[in-house]
């Protein structure tokens, strides 16, 4: 059982040992810029000359593409999780494949080429997927960093140029990620560093993570995965309907319990609310209910929020805030 020690968050040796966790997060903005530069040529050649009948996406960030595009996409949009293509897909459709050499991506690319679909592939130039997908109807956006979020940003830029989504500015996303890295710098203590503050709040908790908008909900799932990996604890990301009953059943805290003697006591939940400022009316009501229920049950509420910029910039910001918090939680637990 790992015990959280908040002194590790300010210990130069502990933070130096966690460089493999913190440096990749700090470099996220640079990876977005590298991917945008790498894809400049193919992106410049794209134009919205002919609107497809439908858009089908594959890969690790296919659902992110769908979440961003759905509000404005002028054609039907499917994030397909299964092997191969839906039976109705043909030359009138565009298929987007993101990723490497996994079976699903390779099968999708093979089928798209065989059926004569327009194909947009986001992957390393020397990968099996790039070779498998080569055709006269294929546009390859070469990736160089292996970062799924950076690749997704480039894919969104391409889909905007094809007239299938709103404008996405890679530089704006990169700047947003850089700002999170600055705010979450290891040199700042917990009074100035929101990621360290959230890590302290979750030091002894079993986190429950919730986001209201479509993109905030997606970020909450990614953050829950990171917290689970960082802590080795049960971490739940779910909708309000699933979380509210669990919060209601949390037993009251014993005001006379000695935390130093009750080292084997069961961990209490901690509620993490992800807010990208894009809640609809229903989500706003759920947020109020979750917060009030948690406070009534003496459950600590942590907040990851950002309410400026485009939808993708907001998503990238709240996600990165959560990933930094997870990294510092791992450092505090001595698991780095």
Could you tell me if residue 270 is inside a domain?
yes
**HSE of 175 in the Cβ direction (CA atoms, 13 Å)?**
8
Please name every residue paired with 96 in a beta bridge, in sequence order, or none if there are none. 57, 120
DSSP state of 205: E
Task: Provide the domain limits for residue 38.
Answer: 30-171
Single residue among 127, 147, 171 that ends a domain in this structure: 171
Query: Does residue 66 sit in the same domain as residue 152?
Result: yes
pLDDT at residue 264, as a whole number: 47
Domain contains 195: yes
pLDDT value for 56: 95
Per residue of the chain (336 residues), give pLDDT as tens. 678 999 999 999 999 999 999 999 999 999 999 999 999 999 999 987 878 999 999 988 888 999 999 888 999 999 888 888 999 999 999 999 988 668 888 999 999 999 999 999 999 999 999 998 999 999 999 999 999 999 999 999 999 999 999 999 999 999 999 999 999 999 999 999 999 999 999 999 999 999 999 999 999 999 999 999 999 999 999 999 999 999 999 987 766 665 555 554 567 999 999 999 999 999 999 999 999 999 999 999 999 999 999 999 999 999 999 999 999 999 999 998
- Which residue(s) pair with 210 in the sheet? 273
CATH number of the domain where residue 46 is located: 3.40.50.10490
278 and 143 share one domain:
no
Same domain, 148 and 236: no
Residues 155 and 35 in one domain: yes
Which string of DSSP letters, residue by residue, matches 152-195?
Answer: HHHHHHHHHHTTSS----HHHHHHHHHHHHHHT-TTS-TTT-HH
1 assigned to some structural domain:
no
- What whole-number distance in Å separates Cα of residue 182 and Cα of residue 102? 35
Shared domain for 38 and 82, answered yes or no, is: yes
Strand order in the sheet with 94-98: 77-79, 55-58, 94-98, 118-123, 138-142
Q: What is the pLDDT of residue 253?
A: 75
Number of domains in the chain: 2
Q: Same domain for 152 and 233?
A: no
Q: Which residues pair with 198 in a beta bridge?
A: none
- CB burial string 152-161: b at 16+ within 10 A, e below: bbbbbbbbbb
Residue 300 domain-assigned (yes or no): yes
DSSP 289-335: HHHHHHHHTT--EEEEE--SS-HHHHHHHHHHHHHHHHHHHHHHTT-
Looking at the structure, tell me whether residues 136 and 262 fall in a common domain: no
Q: What pLDDT, on a 0 to 100 scale, did the predictor assign at position 100?
A: 66
Rg (CA), the chain: 22
* Domain identity same for 79 and 214: no
Q: Are 45 and 13 in the same domain?
A: no
Q: Assess if residue 197 is contained within a domain.
A: yes
pLDDT, tens only, 65-110: 999 998 889 999 998 888 889 999 999 999 999 886 688 889 999 9
177 located within any domain = no
Q: Within this chain, do residues 198 and 311 fall inside the same structural domain, yes or no?
A: yes
| Of the residues 171, 205, 223, the one at which a domain ends | 171
The residue out of 139, 171, 203 marking a domain boundary is: 171
* 93 and 202 part of one domain: no
Do 36 and 166 fall within a single domain?
yes
- Examine residue 181 and state whether it is found in any structural domain, yes or no: no
The answer to whether residue 157 sits within a structural domain is yes
């Amino acid at each position: 059982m790992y015990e959280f020690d908040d002194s590790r968050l300010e210990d130069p040796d502990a933070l130096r040992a966690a460089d493999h966790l913190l440096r990749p997060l700090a470099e996220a903005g640079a990876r977005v810029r590298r991917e945008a530069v790498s894809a400049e040529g193919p992106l410049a050649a794209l134009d919205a000359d002919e609107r497809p009948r439908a858009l089908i996406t594959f890969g690790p960030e296919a659902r992110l593409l769908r979440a961003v595009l759905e509000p404005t996409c002028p054609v039907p949009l499917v994030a397909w999780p299964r092997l191969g293509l839906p039976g109705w897909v043909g030359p009138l459709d565009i298929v987007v494949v993101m990723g490497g050499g996994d079976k699903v991506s390779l099968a999708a690319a093979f089928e798209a080429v065989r059926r004569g679909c327009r194909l947009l592939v986001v992957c390393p130039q020397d990968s099996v997927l790039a070779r498998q997908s080569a055709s006269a109807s294929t546009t390859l956006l070469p990736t160089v960093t292996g970062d799924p979020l950076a690749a997704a940003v480039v894919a969104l830029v391409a889909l905007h140029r094809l007239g299938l989504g709103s404008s996405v500015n890679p530089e704006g996303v990169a700047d947003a990620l850089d700002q999170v890295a600055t705010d979450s710098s290891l040199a700042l203590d917990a009074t100035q560093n929101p990621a360290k503050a959230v890590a302290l709040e979750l030091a002894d908790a079993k986190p429950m993570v919730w986001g209201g908008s479509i993109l905030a909900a997606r970020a909450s799932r990614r953050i829950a995965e990171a917290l689970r990996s960082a802590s080795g604890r049960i971490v739940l990301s779910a909708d309000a309907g699933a979380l509210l009953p669990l919060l209601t059943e949390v037993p009251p805290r014993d005001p006379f319990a000695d935390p130093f003697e009750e080292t084997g006591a069961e961990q209490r939940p901690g509620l993490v609310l992800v807010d990208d400022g894009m809640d609809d009316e229903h989500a706003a009501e759920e947020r109020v209910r979750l917060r009030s229920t948690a406070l009534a049950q003496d459950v600590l509420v942590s907040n990851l929020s950002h309410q400026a910029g485009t939808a993708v910039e907001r998503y990238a910001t709240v996600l990165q805030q959560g990933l930094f918090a997870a990294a510092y939680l791992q450092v505090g637990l001595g698991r780095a």
